[in-house]
A and B are shown apart, each in its own frame.
Chain A
C-alpha cells in the first residue's frame, strides 16, 4: 500500500499532452486511474458550488510539477524569482485592500463567491509570471477568442476547439454565478433564485458533460475516415503493383537469357508505372497533342520492335489532320529505323516554332544509299514523303552509309 501511495505521489504531475487549461485534471486522472472526464466534471461542479473547484484547480496548477520536470511553478516562484514574488505580494495586498474597501461599502456579492475567485485570480497571476510557454499558451487559449468553426480537421484545430468548449463552460459558470449573486443581493427574487440556479446548473452541467463527448466523436469519425482512405489507397497500390510490376519481374526472371526481351519488358513496365504514378499530373487536354501522340507512337513502335525510342518535344500543338499526318509519317520513319538501321536507340525530336512543326527521327545505324533503293520499295516514298506533301508539308531523308539516317518532317 505504501509503495502504491509513493508511486502515486511520484506520478502526480500536470499533463503536457492532454490539457484544456493547465493539465491538472488529466494529471490527476492518470495518477488515480479515474476517467479524466469525471475529474473535470468534479472540478467544475465544485467551482459552481461555491468556487472551491477553481481554487483547488489553481492551487494544483501551482503545486504540481509539469510532466517531465520536477519543480512546480510555486517552487520556482519561491526559489529563483524572489523579486517577482514580492511584486505579486505587493499587487495582491493592494487588490485585497480595494476589495475589503468595496466590501465595507456594501457593494458585494457573497463571501463564498468572491474569496475563492480572488485567490484563484492571484494564483493565475503567479502562474502567468512564472509559467513556461505551454502554460502561457493554455492561459492565452482560455482567454482567446472562440475558434472559427467548420474548418477544423487537424489535431491542432481539435485542441483549440476543445479549449473553446472549455471556455464556453467557464463562461456559463461565471454568468450563472453572477446572476445568482445578483439575485441573492436583491433579496426580492429569493423564490426565483432557487429555480434559476438549479436549472442554470443543469444546463451548464449538461454542456460540460456532453461537449467533450461530441468533440471526441467528431474526432474519431475524422480519424476513421482518414484511415479508411489510406487503406483503400494502399490496397489500390498493392493491386496495381501485383498486376503489373510483379508479373513483369517474374517474366524478366524467366527470360533472363534474352537480354532484348528483358529490356523491352523493363521499358514497357517502366513507362506503364510512370504513367500510372503521374497520371494525375498530366494535363487532361495533353492527351490530344502532337507531343503526346508522338510519345504514344514511339511506345508502340518500341513495343513492336524491341528497340528503345526516346521522344523529346519542345513546344506543342493540338492534334488536327495535319499534325496527325505528321505523327503517322513520323511513326513510319520510326518503324523503318527500327527495322533497318540496326541501331538500338532512335532519337525523335519534335519542335514547334512559329506555327511550324518539325519532327526529326534520327538513328546512328547502317544508313543506306538513297539512289540504290529499289523503285518498288514504296515505304519511304508513299507513306512518308507523299503523305507529308498531301498535307502541305515536306519530308527530307538524309542518310550516309554507316552513319545512320535522319528523316526530317516539316508541316
Chain B
C-alpha cells in the first residue's frame, strides 16, 4: 500500500472523532466523518475510503447496520470496529457483519494507526479480547454440525489465538511458533472467515449470554 490510507470515521461522539483525528495526525488521510448510520452510508459510498473506523454503538442500528448497507455496494471498503464496551455480543456481531478487525477505544494513537494500516493492507486485526472471545465461543463442542471445517478451529489457529490473547504481537507469535509472520496472518484471516461464516448456532447464543467483563 503506497501513501497514507484513506480513512473515514463513524462515531456519534464529536469529542471522540476529534480525538481520533488528532491522534492519528499525519499517519492517515481522514477523508470524512459522520455521526449517524444514514449519512455514513451515503458518504462512504460516495468517497470510497479504504478503511472505515466504525463505532459499534450508534443510534439506528449500530455499526453493524453501516457494514451491512455498505458491503454489498462497495465490497472493497474495509471496516475496523472500535468500541468501548467489549461486550461479546457487540464484538461478535460487528465482526460477523463483515468488519475486518476490532479494537477497543483505549488503544493508543500509534497502535490505532498501525491497526488501520494493517486493515488497509487486507490483514485482520484481532484485539486480545476478541481472540479470547473467539476461543471461548469455539471452545464448546459444536454438536451436530453442517460444516465441521467452518465450525471448529484447527489446533494451529487455537495456538495463534491463544498467543494473541496472551499479548503477543504477530512477529512474536511467528517467532514462538517458528512460522512466518505471513502464516500468522493467514491463520488469523482463516479464523475471521470461520467467525463470519460459521453458522454454529451457539456462537450467537454464546455471545448473547456472555456478560461484560
Does B10 count as interface, using CB distance less than 8 angstroms?
no
Provided the pairs A349-B128, A351-B162 are in contact, do residues A282 and B167 lie with their beta carbons within 8 angstroms? Answer: no
Report how far A8 CA is from B162 CA in the complex, Å.
Answer: 78
In the bound complex, do residue B213 and residue A291 qualify as a contact, i.e. CB atoms below 8 Å apart? yes
- The secondary-structure label for the interface of chain B is helix
In chain B, what residue has the closest Cβ to A278? B212
In the bound complex, do residue B211 and residue A282 qualify as a contact, i.e. CB atoms below 8 Å apart? yes
Question: Which residues of B lie under 8 Å from residue A313 when comparing CB positions?
Answer: 132, 213
The 7 closest A-B pairs by CB, nearest first: A347-B167, A312-B132, A362-B167, A349-B166, A360-B166, A314-B136, A349-B165
B162 to chain A, nearest CB (A): 7
Does B65 count as interface, using CB distance less than 8 angstroms?
no
In the bound complex, do residue A349 and residue B167 qualify as a contact, i.e. CB atoms below 8 Å apart? yes
Provided the pairs A360-B166, A362-B168, A406-B166 are in contact, do residues A312 and B128 lie with their beta carbons within 8 angstroms? Answer: yes
B141 to chain A, nearest CB (A): 12
Does A283 count as interface, using CB distance less than 8 angstroms?
yes
Listed in ascending order, the chain B residues whose CB lies under 8 Å from chain A are 106, 128-129, 131-132, 135-136, 139, 162, 165-168, 211-213
Does A274 count as interface, using CB distance less than 8 angstroms?
yes
Report how far A267 CA is from B106 CA in the complex, Å.
Answer: 9
In the bound complex, do residue A314 and residue B132 qualify as a contact, i.e. CB atoms below 8 Å apart? yes
Interface centre among B129, B162, B166, B167 (most CB of A within 10 A): B167
Provided the pairs A310-B128, A314-B132 are in contact, do residues A282 and B212 lie with their beta carbons within 8 angstroms? Answer: yes
Listed in ascending order, the chain A residues whose CB lies under 8 Å from chain B are 267, 270, 274, 278, 281-283, 286, 291, 295, 308, 310-315, 345-347, 349, 351, 353, 360, 362, 364, 406
Question: Which residues of A lie under 8 Å from residue B128 when comparing CB positions?
Answer: 310, 312, 347, 349
Question: Which residues of A lie under 8 Å from residue B166 when comparing CB positions?
Answer: 347, 349, 360, 362, 406
Question: Which residues of B lie under 8 Å from residue A283 when comparing CB positions?
Answer: 211
Some 5 contacts from A to B, beta carbons below 8 A apart, are: A281-B212, A295-B213, A310-B129, A314-B135, A353-B139
A65 to chain B, nearest CB (A): 37
Question: Which residues of B lie under 8 Å from residue A310 when comparing CB positions?
Answer: 128-129, 167
Provided the pairs A312-B128, A314-B135, A347-B167 are in contact, do residues A286 and B211 lie with their beta carbons within 8 angstroms? Answer: yes
In the bound complex, do residue B165 and residue A312 qualify as a contact, i.e. CB atoms below 8 Å apart? yes
Interface centre among B129, B165, B168, B211 (most CB of A within 10 A): B165
- The secondary-structure label for the interface of chain A is strand
In chain A, what residue has the closest Cβ to B135? A314
Provided the pairs A295-B213, A347-B167 are in contact, do residues A312 and B129 lie with their beta carbons within 8 angstroms? Answer: yes
A28 to chain B, nearest CB (A): 42
Report how far A351 CA is from B106 CA in the complex, Å.
Answer: 23
Interface centre among A274, A312, A346, A360 (most CB of B within 10 A): A312
In chain B, what residue has the closest Cβ to A283? B211
A354 to chain B, nearest CB (A): 10
Question: Which residues of A lie under 8 Å from residue B106 when comparing CB positions?
Answer: 267, 270, 308
Interface centre among A267, A282, A347 (most CB of B within 10 A): A347
In the bound complex, do residue B212 and residue A274 qualify as a contact, i.e. CB atoms below 8 Å apart? yes
Report how far A364 CA is from B168 CA in the complex, Å.
Answer: 9
B56 to chain A, nearest CB (A): 15
Report how far A270 CA is from B105 CA in the complex, Å.
Answer: 12
A405 to chain B, nearest CB (A): 11
Q: A270-B106, A282-B211 are in contact. List 4 more A-B contacts (CB 8 A).
A: A345-B167, A346-B167, A349-B167, A353-B139
Question: Which residues of B lie under 8 Å from residue A278 when comparing CB positions?
Answer: 211-212
In the bound complex, do residue B211 and residue A349 qualify as a contact, i.e. CB atoms below 8 Å apart? no
Question: Which residues of B lie under 8 Å from residue A406 when comparing CB positions?
Answer: 166
Interface centre among B131, B136, B213 (most CB of A within 10 A): B213
B135 to chain A, nearest CB (A): 5
In chain A, what residue has the closest Cβ to B161? A314
Question: Which residues of A lie under 8 Å from residue B211 when comparing CB positions?
Answer: 278, 281-283, 286
In the bound complex, do residue B213 and residue A311 qualify as a contact, i.e. CB atoms below 8 Å apart? yes
Question: Which residues of A lie under 8 Å from residue B139 when comparing CB positions?
Answer: 314-315, 353
In the bound complex, do residue B132 and residue A349 qualify as a contact, i.e. CB atoms below 8 Å apart? yes
Question: Which residues of A lie under 8 Å from residue B129 when comparing CB positions?
Answer: 310, 312
Question: Which residues of A lie under 8 Å from residue B212 when comparing CB positions?
Answer: 274, 278, 281-282
Question: Which residues of A lie under 8 Å from residue B136 when comparing CB positions?
Answer: 314-315
Question: Which residues of A lie under 8 Å from residue B132 when comparing CB positions?
Answer: 312-314, 349
B84 to chain A, nearest CB (A): 8
In chain A, what residue has the closest Cβ to B134? A314
Question: Which residues of B lie under 8 Å from residue A353 when comparing CB positions?
Answer: 139
Report how far A282 CA is from B209 CA in the complex, Å.
Answer: 11
Report how far A364 CA is from B106 CA in the complex, Å.
Answer: 18
Report how far A274 CA is from B85 CA in the complex, Å.
Answer: 9
Report how far A349 CA is from B168 CA in the complex, Å.
Answer: 11
Report how far A308 CA is from B128 CA in the complex, Å.
Answer: 14
